[in-house]
C-alpha cells in the first residue's frame, strides 16, 4: 500500500487494564498500541509490551485468554450465541468465526476504507453499528482490533496506515457506546500476511482488519463459579 505525508506517531504505552495484560502477555516482535486517546481519565500506564508477528495475532490473543475445562465450555457457549448474532449483523461485511473460547472477525480493508485512506466508508457503517450493539449486549468481553496491510509501498507507511485503520474502527465502536477500556488497537503493517503478496488477490486478502473477542475477567469468574456449582451439584 502507498500513502503520502504520513508521519509515524510516538508509540503509546499500554494502560494497566486487564485486557492489555491478557492480550499482550508472552508475545513478542511488534510494538502494541492501546486505543486510549479518548479516555481523558489519566489511566496509569504500564511498561511498553510487545506482540507477535505471527500470521494471526487475533488467534494468538484468543489462545492467550483461554480458561479451559468446564469453565471454558461455559465461555464457549456464551461466545457461540454471540457468534450467531454477529454473523447476522455483519453478513456481507465480514467473516465471523468462533475459535475456542473466543471470536475472530475478519474484514477486508477494501470494504471498510477507500484506497490508502483510514476514513471509514459509508456503506458498511449500518452493519458496524449492529456490531457495536451486539458488543454492548455481550458486555463481558474484551476486544483486540488489529490492522494489517499488504507489502506494497514503504513499510513505515504501511505500519502507520494499519494503526490508523485499527484506531478508526475502534473509534467508531466507542462513538456507538462500546467502552474504551474494553478495546486494544494494534497495527501490524505488512508484517503479518495471510497469503503471498505476489498476486492482486493475495494483496487484497492481506489488507484487512481482524477483531478478536475474548472473555473479560468478570465472565471468567462467573464461568468458574458456575462450573464449580455444577460439579458440586452433579
Residues 149-199 have pLDDT tens digits of 999 999 999 999 999 999 999 999 999 999 999 999 999 999 999 999 999
Q: Indicate the number of domains in the chain.
A: 1
Question: Is residue 51 situated within a structural domain?
Answer: no
Cα–Cα distances in angstroms (integers) from residue 101 to residues 19, 80, 137, 221, 229, in the given order: 15, 9, 18, 14, 20
Which residue is associated with the grid cell 509501498?
153
Residue 103 lies in a domain: yes
Q: Please indicate, yes or no, if residue 218 is contained in any of the structural domains.
A: yes
Task: Tell me: pLDDT of 203 over 80.
Answer: yes
Whether 29 is covered by a domain: the verdict is no
Task: Note whether residue 47 is domain-resident.
Answer: no
Residue 209's domain spans which residues? Answer: 56-233
Residue 21 falls inside a structural domain: no
The whole-model pTM stands at: 0.81
Q: What is the band of 1 on the pLDDT scale with cuts at 50, 70, 90?
A: low
Instruction: Say which residue the cell 453478513 belongs to.
Output: 91
Is residue 11 included in any domain, yes or no?
Answer: no
CATH code at position 211:
3.30.1330.60
The answer to the question of residue 45 being in a domain is: no
Amino acid at each position: 500500500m502507498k500513502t503520502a505525508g504520513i508521519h509515524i506517531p510516538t508509540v503509546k504505552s499500554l494502560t494497566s487494564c486487564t485486557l492489555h495484560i491478557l492480550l499482550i502477555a508472552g508475545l513478542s516482535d511488534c510494538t502494541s498500541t492501546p486505543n486510549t486517546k479518548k479516555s481523558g481519565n489519566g489511566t496509569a500506564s504500564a511498561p511498553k509490551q510487545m506482540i507477535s508477528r505471527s500470521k494471526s495475532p487475533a488467534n494468538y490473543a484468543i489462545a492467550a485468554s483461554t480458561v479451559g475445562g468446564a469453565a471454558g465450555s461455559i465461555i464457549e457457549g456464551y461466545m457461540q450465541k454471540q457468534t450467531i448474532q454477529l454473523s447476522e449483523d455483519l453478513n456481507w461485511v465480514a467473516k465471523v468465526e468462533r475459535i475456542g473460547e473466543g471470536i475472530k472477525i475478519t474484514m477486508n480493508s477494501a470494504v471498510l476504507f477507500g484506497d490508502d485512506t483510514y476514513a471509514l466508508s459509508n456503506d458498511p457503517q449500518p452493519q458496524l453499528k449492529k456490531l457495536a450493539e451486539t458488543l454492548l449486549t455481550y458486555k463481558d468481553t474484551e476486544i483486540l482490533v488489529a490492522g494489517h496491510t499488504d507489502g506494497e509501498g514503504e513499510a513505515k507507511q504501511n505500519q502507520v496506515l494499519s494503526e490508523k485503520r485499527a484506531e478508526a474502527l475502534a473509534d467508531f465502536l466507542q462513538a456507538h457506546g462500546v467502552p474504551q477500556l474494553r478495546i486494544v488497537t494494534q497495527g501490524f503493517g505488512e508484517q503479518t500476511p495471510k497469503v503471498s503478496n505476489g498476486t492482486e488477490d493475495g494483496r487484497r486478502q492481506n489488507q484487512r482488519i481482524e477483531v478478536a473477542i475474548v472473555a473479560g475477567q468478570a465472565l471468567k469468574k462467573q464461568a468458574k463459579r458456575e462450573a464449580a456449582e455444577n460439579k458440586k451439584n452433579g
